Amino acid sequence: MLLKNLIAFLILFSFLLSEFLFPVFAQENYDAKVEELLSKMTLDEKIGQLVQKIGVNQENEKLIRSGKVGSLLIGTPGPEVANRIQKIAVEETRLGIPLLFANDVIHGYHTIFPIPLAEASSWNPELVKRASEIAAFEAASEGTNWTFAPMVDIARDPRWGRIMEGFGEDPFLGSVMASARVKGFQGDDLRDKTKIAACSKHYVAYGGAEGGRDYNTVDISERTLREVYLQPFHAAVDNGVASIMSAFNDLNGIPASGNYFTLTEVLRNEWKWDGVVISDWNSIGELVKHRFAKNKEDAAFIGFTAGVDIDMAGDTIDGNIYSPHLKNLVEQGLISEDKINESVRRVLKMKYKLGLFEDPYVDIEFFKNNPGKIGGKSYKDSIALQLAKESIVLLKNENNLLPVKKNIKSIALIGPLANNSEDVLGMWSAAGKPDDVVTVLQGIKNLLGNNTEINYLKGCNINDNDSSDFNASIEIAKQFDLVILVVGEERKMSGEAASKTDLNIPGVQEELVKRIYETGVLTVVVLMNGRPLTINWISENIPAIVEAWFLGDQTGNAIAQVLFGDYNPSGKSPVTFPRSTGQIPIYYYQKSTGRPIIEEDKYTSKYLDSPNTPLYPFGYGLSYTTFNYNNIRMDKNSIDKNDFVTVSVDVVNTGKFEGEEVVQLYIQDEFASITRPVKELKGFQKINLKTGDTKIVSFKITSDMLSFLDKDMNPVVEPGKFNIMIGGNSVDLITTSFEVTE
């Protein structure tokens, strides 16, 4: 007995040691090592660590050799090249400090997953985390040890092309996804050679660009900044994100890459975060163009003293920024070497944390011979497929047109995206290849085999005025029982520098849809795009609409499985669909105003020519089954503000299919000393229900979910009534309430 207890104690002790104490020791070790290394470095070598160069070329190799580069935006040249470059840093520089190899691994490296906006539609953080694990594995196997992801910018304006790179309009959903992706990329220990450092970007409020124009001005209150835009960054920090990228935009008069308040007061002083801040591409140099810095030296001074550690691409457009200006600034006594040391410490620590000093090279054999689960093709494909399926949002399904019966004799598949393997990868597809993509045509063939005749026609291009194939398409359509039309955007229409004023489906595609509809043949529209489009006519007339975003490699398999009922769609839009661009910005998290809309009262907050309501609300998405929500109840009617309360609801699958549902919890503070949004998403659970089954779904509501920032920006829970709303989207909700007492 005694021996048993002793063994149990020893096991527990060693667990505690490894779980809690070892990281502390490891941390201290790094600190000592960092200090030792720092003490040997010249000022030039220190500044070198704060410089990031772009690409593999002879000039950069020379600079690396002279110790003037700490990191390289490497692209995808493969592990041999990465190792060759690393060898220069490790063996040919005076101190042998390894390089960080950065890359934009945004939604996959070789295996391409759905674009992040689509991933967010899955409301499945566990699956999103797995996709990031795979992306990290593949990127690491080729030398990348640092990804510039996740992009966590809240975006409430679909004119902004970069909405595709983030998780949509909501700070809560954005935070959950940010956390999942950071964990997926980084794991528990960055020394694991299959993990890479993450970078949350673009700090901060880049998504709030005026008019949706990329790189543009953002002028928002500190409240909106804190309650909305900073939230996902804070979540990333809480999950140990290794780095953060400062943004291009002007923020309330102070450009984000020269903003002491956000970069130092919030990040360092409030959040106590000690990771690395890197600028965006020449965003320090651009302080001159903002007319915020007099010249490049001034820009270096402002960016550095505001809190940017590494200057990305500071020499490629506008001349040198950190190098040589930081040195001049130190020599003039304007920046202290101690301050330089602080930044260098952070960079060196990141390199230690990644294990680069012990093991700087890609272990090519390891990745070849030990793919394990994460590196195995069938596992990767299965995660890519599952995520693609869960990312699809069913927008409309009149008379249960979908799912289509698999024994259907013939289908006409029409549209410029129906057999497209390039656009469906979405922007930022790293080393992804069109050859690895399953197109919709291929996916349907994979699923239906030879029993169904599939007649494919492109119909038109995505973005020109050529309607010469319309007649042929119409003739084909007439001969079939069902037409599946796949239309949408080119991938380059979203992403960086891809703002738009017109969100209608481009080119003559909508015209094609109309002409085919006029034949009277049953029509399903599958949309592919990097942002919600304005699709009023389609929404009114076409009986079934599937929003597929850009789904990556498994596009065709995922869409086919949804269309033919092998998978019951469960995606929910992470962004509001406007009726017209004139409604933008439009998002669910709005204020009541003093004149909330009343249809028959002209003098309320509304448009003369359009409803206020969106075409499809945030959190919306249909299933082939139906879910009924009832019996919402609290376990207590009132609580003290430090207490918690539990709300429960019965969710019943009342339809004919087994299915998944995203149960969403929204809270409204009925009355407060600062006006609060009409509702805020505060929780969700994705559940699976067999037909006829009921599940009780409960949410614990804690005080942090009830709090907001008071007039002095301090979190407060005010006594009074809170309305609790639960449902399958942000509009169709059932409500209860409780009181918080003094």
Q: Catalytic residue positions?
A: 280
Which residue from 641, 652, 591, 631 is spatially nearest to 736, judged by alpha carbons?
631
Which residue from 138, 134, 131, 145 is spatially nearest to 73, judged by alpha carbons?
145
Q: Which is nearer to ligand NOJ, 201 or 491 (CB)?
A: 201
Give me the residue label for tokens 């691994």.
Answer: 105
As measured in angstroms, the least distance from the Cβ of 280 to ligand NOJ is 5
As measured in angstroms, the least distance from the Cβ of 431 to ligand NOJ is 14
As measured in angstroms, the least distance from the Cβ of 281 to ligand NOJ is 4
Q: Which is nearer to ligand NOJ, 45 or 280 (CB)?
A: 280
As measured in angstroms, the least distance from the Cβ of 266 to ligand NOJ is 20
As measured in angstroms, the least distance from the Cβ of 74 to ligand NOJ is 11
As measured in angstroms, the least distance from the Cβ of 673 to ligand NOJ is 38
- Contacts of 17 by beta carbon, 8 Å cutoff, 6+ apart: none
Helices 58-65 and 79-92 cross at an angle (nearest 10°) of 30
Quick one: how many helices (H) and strands (E) in the chain? Answer: 24, 26
Q: Which is nearer to ligand NOJ, 116 or 507 (CB)?
A: 116
Tell me how far the alpha carbon of residue 478 is from its chain's centroid: 41
Q: Which is nearer to ligand NOJ, 275 or 488 (CB)?
A: 275
253 C-beta neighbours (distance < 10 Å), count:
10
As measured in angstroms, the least distance from the Cβ of 24 to ligand NOJ is 33
- Contacts of 146 by beta carbon, 8 Å cutoff, 6+ apart: 71, 100, 101, 102, 103, 196, 197, 199, 242, 243, 354
As measured in angstroms, the least distance from the Cβ of 147 to ligand NOJ is 9
Q: Which is nearer to ligand NOJ, 280 or 661 (CB)?
A: 280
Interatomic CA distance for residues 272 and 445, integer angstroms:
54
As measured in angstroms, the least distance from the Cβ of 161 to ligand NOJ is 11
Q: Cα angle at 169 between 167 and 171, to 5 degrees? A: 80
User: Which alpha helices (DSSP H) does 17-124 contain, by range?
Assistant: 22-40, 43-49, 58-65, 79-92, 116-121
Q: Which is nearer to ligand NOJ, 432 or 443 (CB)?
A: 432
E-state strands within 179-329? 199-203, 243-246, 250-251, 254-255, 276-279, 311-312
Interatomic CA distance for residues 725 and 588, integer angstroms:
14
Q: Which is nearer to ligand NOJ, 161 or 168 (CB)?
A: 161
Q: Residue 546 corresponds to which tokens in the numbers above?
A: 């599937």
Q: Is the dihedral of CA 635, 636, 637, 643 positive or negative?
A: negative
Indicate the residue whose CB is closest to ligand NOJ.
Answer: 148
Per the CB < 8 A criterion, the answer to whether 457 and 509 are in contact is: no
Q: Residue 307 corresponds to which tokens in the numbers above?
A: 């809190």
Give me the residue label for tokens 């093991």.
Answer: 359
Interatomic CA distance for residues 328 and 212, integer angstroms:
38
Task: Read off the amino acid at residue 445.
Answer: K
Interatomic CA distance for residues 94 and 41, integer angstroms:
9
Interatomic CA distance for residues 408 and 453, integer angstroms:
9
Contact set with ligand NOJ (CB under 6 A): 73, 104, 148, 201, 280-281, 496
Q: Which is nearer to ligand NOJ, 194 or 200 (CB)?
A: 200
Task: Read off the amino acid at residue 355.
Answer: G
63 C-beta neighbours (distance < 10 Å), count:
18
3-class DSSP assignment, residue 530: coil
Q: Which is nearer to ligand NOJ, 201 or 682 (CB)?
A: 201
